[in-house]
Amino acid sequence: PLPTDKAMVCFGSMFIELPKAKTREMLQQDQEELDEEINKLRKDLRVKVNRLYEAQGKPELKGFNLNPMSAEEMKLINRILEG
């Protein structure tokens, strides 16, 4: 098959053919929204867990307020480990 500038995208139970540039843009936007939502949920979870531990009379968890490394930070770490 010849290369095409269109991609098939599944929306629910339908497949729609869209330009690759538009498809890439839509996927990147969706990923950014998902990343924001994940970060918001992680932040809220920390607060809720701390409240739960406080209500139970337990000490606050150590290291629970750590933030995950970004993809760029992971690449740098891997580059250092590879030598």
What are the C-alpha distances in Å from 42 to residues 5, 38, 45? Answer: 38, 6, 5
* Residue partners of 60: CB distance under 8 A and separation at least 6: 50, 53, 54
| Total number of domains in the chain | 1
In a domain, 6, yes or no: yes
In a domain, 52, yes or no: yes
Q: What is the mean pLDDT of each run of 10 residues along the chain (83 residues)?
A: 80 92 94 93 88 89 79 93 88
Kindly report whether the global pTM for this prediction surpasses the value 0.75: no
**Structural domain for 41, as ranges:** 1-62
In a domain, 82, yes or no: no
In a domain, 15, yes or no: yes
